[in-house]
Amino acid sequence: MPRTARASVGDVCYHVLNRGNGRQRVFHRDADYAAFLDLLAAAGTRLPLRVLGLCLLPNHFHLLLWPHADGDLSRWMQWLLTAHVRRYHGRRGTSGHVWQGRFKAFPIQRDEHFLAGLRYVERNPVRAGLVRRAEDWPWSSLALRRQRSELLTASPVALPRNWTGRVNRPETDAELVAVRQSVVRGAPFGTPAWRLRTSAALGLESALHPLGRPRQVSRE
C-alpha cells in the first residue's frame, strides 16, 4: 500500500471525531442533532461512504467510517463540516469557527478492536452522564440501529447477540486507556503487529512514539 495523506486511504475503517471550538456547545436542541444526521445522509449521497457507528454529543461527535477509495474520507468530511458550519451560522446569525480545527481520524482494525471502538463510541452518553442507558440516547448508532436506520451500514464485524448489554457494561480502566491513547495520538487501534504495518503504510509512525511529556488522556 503506497503512502497516502493521513486519513485518506480507502478500505480502512476510521474512528473520526471533532469537538466544538473551545469546547463550546455545537448541538443546542434536538433539531440540531437531527439536521446533522440529515447532513450525514446527504454526504453519503454525494460520495458513497459506509457509516458504521456514530454518537453526537452536545459539544463533539464520534463517527466510525469506512471509505471505499483513497481520498474519500477527507473529501467526505470536508463537505460534511463545511455544510454544517454554513447551516449553523445561517440558523444562528453568527460567524467564526464552530469546530476545533480539522477533524481527527485514526485507523481501527476490523476485529475485536472495532467492537471495542464501537462500544466506546456508543457508551459515550452514559459516561457523560446524559443518560443511564446507552440506548436511551437518540443521537447514536445504538439507537439508530434499533430503529433500522438506513443511514448505517452493517458492521464489518458481527455484533454479539446481547450487544446493547455489552455497551451498557462499564469498560475497564485498561479498555478506556487503550482507546483514549489512540484518540490523543491519532494512532492506529489494533493488535501490535497490525498497528506497526498500518502506521508504516499510512506514514503514521510518529503516532506510535512515546510522547515527549505526559499528557492528560482525553475523555471524549
Give the domain range for residue 159. Answer: 14-208
Instruction: Tell me whether residue 184 is in a domain.
Output: yes
Instruction: Tell me whether residue 75 is in a domain.
Output: yes
Confidence (pTM): 0.90
pLDDT digits (tens, 9 = 90+) for 190-205: 999 999 999 888 888 7
The pLDDT of residue 171: 94
| Res 80 pLDDT > 60 | yes
Q: Greater confidence, 8 or 105?
A: 105
Instruction: Tell me whether residue 162 is in a domain.
Output: yes
Instruction: Tell me whether residue 166 is in a domain.
Output: yes
* Residue in the structure block whose three cell numbers are 442533532: 33
Q: Greater confidence, 175 or 2?
A: 175
Instruction: Tell me whether residue 213 is in a domain.
Output: no
CA–CA separation, 181 vs 147, rounded Å? 32
Which of 5-19, 26-40, 69-83, 158-172 shows the lowest mean pLDDT across its residues?
5-19
pLDDT digits (tens, 9 = 90+) for 40-70: 999 999 999 999 999 999 999 999 999 999 9
The pLDDT of residue 133: 98
| Res 99 pLDDT > 50 | yes
* Domains in the chain, number: 1
Which of 37-51, 91-105, 114-128 shows the lowest mean pLDDT across its residues?
91-105
| Res 211 pLDDT > 80 | no
* Section 71-93 average pLDDT: 94
Among candidate residues 65, 91, 94, the one with its CA nearest the CA of residue 7: 65
Among candidate residues 108, 49, 109, 110, the one with its CA nearest the CA of residue 77: 49
The pLDDT of residue 201: 86
CA–CA separation, 38 vs 35, rounded Å? 5
Positive or negative: CA dihedral 99, 102, 106, 107 = positive
CA–CA separation, 162 vs 200, rounded Å? 36
The pLDDT of residue 147: 94
Assess contact for 65 and 14: CB atoms under 8 A.
yes
Positive or negative: CA dihedral 67, 6, 109, 213 = negative
The pLDDT of residue 4: 39
The pLDDT of residue 5: 44
**CATH classification at residue 60:** 3.30.70.1290
